[in-house]
Amino acid sequence: MDVTGRLLAAALLILASAAADPGDEKCLTDLSESLQDPLRNLKNWTKETFANPCQGFTSFLQGATCNNGRIYKLSLTNLSLRGTISPFLSNCTNLQALDLSSNQISGQIPPDLQNLVNLAVLNLSSNRISGSIPPQLALCTYLNVIDLHDNRISGEIPQQLGFLVRLSVFDVSNNRLSGPIPPSLGNRSGSLSQFNASSFDGNRDLYGYPLPPIKSRGLSVMTIVGIGLGSGLVSLILSFTAVCIWLKISEQKQDEEESKVGQLMPEY
């Protein structure tokens, strides 16, 4: 290698090891503050690493994947994490996948995630997330996975999410959602991926296609038959018990009567 080559290599090295993107640093610093890690499962989640989490495609941060020196994926699943999702996650502007599934994370989904214009995968399933689904997520046009199942999310499903043409997985089952399923998600047209009832199951007050129609407000046939059989059995047992008690009482009365009669009779 000649002098120029060496100089070039040195220059490249300096460029490569330059400080992290300030957005990534802000994003990681704030995320580490908003999340709680009671079991200390996150390795290398320190201020020093946030200042330089990536070198090219190498990551020094547990759960992070790097691409050209930027955070590209964050996957922190099943680590007993608590706390909330920092709105400054949106400063990780190159983020393509965010997977915080299977923890005990609470709080709301920050609408600020709308700034993650490269986001393709959002998996926040099996946590304790509450609040409603921010309609702003529809601005992340590359989203193809939204998995929010098993949380405590309430409110209506924003119909804007139906505008996400790349969406191929949508799962909001087992939450506290209510209102109608927007046809833009429940009955998608043309070549768009369809979502069946399993995407929407387990939300008590959510209704509409593709969920089965709500049973008539009255009682179903099986319930009526069940109640009929059950109450029949109960009344049978009750009347049997009543008859037994009545027999017992009258037997006692008879005994008493007999003994009274016995007392009145003079003894010979």
Ligand X SMILES: *[C@@H]1O[C@H](CO)[C@@H](O)[C@H](O)[C@H]1NC(C)=O
**What is the contact surface with ligand X in residues (CB under 6 A)?**
22-23, 26, 43-44, 49, 60, 62, 77-78, 90-91, 101-102, 115, 123, 125, 145, 147, 169, 187, 189, 196, 198, 209
- Among residues 33 and 251, whose Cβ is nearest to ligand X? 33
Alpha carbon distance 24, 87 (integer Å): 13
- Among residues 141 and 198, whose Cβ is nearest to ligand X? 198
- Among residues 46 and 231, whose Cβ is nearest to ligand X? 46
Residue 166 tokens, joined: 């790349």
Smallest distance from ligand X to CB 44, Å: 4
Alpha carbon distance 188, 184 (integer Å): 5
Cβ-based neighbours of 87, under 8 Å, separated by 6 or more: 30, 110, 111, 112
In the chain the first and final C-alpha atoms are separated, in Å, by 141
- Among residues 60 and 207, whose Cβ is nearest to ligand X? 60
Alpha carbon distance 257, 250 (integer Å): 10
Alpha carbon distance 10, 148 (integer Å): 46
H/E segment holding residue 228: helix 221-264
Smallest distance from ligand X to CB 10, Å: 21
Smallest distance from ligand X to CB 18, Å: 15
Q: Which residue, among 34, 55, 190, has the nearest Cα to 108 in the 3D structure?
A: 34
- Among residues 196 and 259, whose Cβ is nearest to ligand X? 196
Would you say 228 and 202 are in contact if contact means Cβ atoms under 8 Å apart? no
- Among residues 49 and 247, whose Cβ is nearest to ligand X? 49
Would you say 170 and 199 are in contact if contact means Cβ atoms under 8 Å apart? yes
Alpha carbon distance 207, 227 (integer Å): 27
Smallest distance from ligand X to CB 9, Å: 22
Alpha carbon distance 151, 129 (integer Å): 5
Residue 60 tokens, joined: 């020094």
Smallest distance from ligand X to CB 125, Å: 5
Smallest distance from ligand X to CB 198, Å: 5
- Among residues 88 and 234, whose Cβ is nearest to ligand X? 88
Smallest distance from ligand X to CB 233, Å: 37
